[in-house]
Amino acid sequence: MKIIDWLADAKNRGFVKKASYAALVLVFGADFFVHRHHGAFFWDNLPGYGAVYGFISCIVIIIVSKAIGHAWLMKKEDYYD
């Protein structure tokens, strides 16, 4: 519980953001040094492809989920009245 409080504290927000960005850059940069034996497709051998594909996939999932929620799942505020 203490780590959650530390992460949520406003004075630590800048450090947490910088540490998160540094971790993202480190993981993305490490992908340039990984040897791939063979990929099924040519893009499987591109450095950083998995990170970019995962990021775009997350954005698409969020957009589609919000669209479904607003178009079909959400009910009006007085739906149960």
Mean pLDDT of each 10-residue bin along the chain, 81 residues long? 87 93 90 82 85 92 95 84 71
φ, ψ (nearest 5 deg) of residue 38 = -165, 145
For the chain, how many structural domains are there in total? 2
Same domain, yes or no: 29 and 58: no
Domain that holds residue 19: 1-34
CA-CA distances (angstroms) from residue 28 to 40, 45, 67? 21, 14, 30
Same domain, yes or no: 44 and 24: no
Residue 11 confidence (pLDDT): 92
Same domain, yes or no: 28 and 53: no
Q: Distance between CA 58 and CA 67 in Å, rounded?
A: 14
Residue 37 confidence (pLDDT): 80
Residue 72 confidence (pLDDT): 86
Question: Coil, strand, or helix at residue 40?
Answer: coil
Same domain, yes or no: 45 and 72: yes
The reported pTM is 0.61
Residue 15 confidence (pLDDT): 94
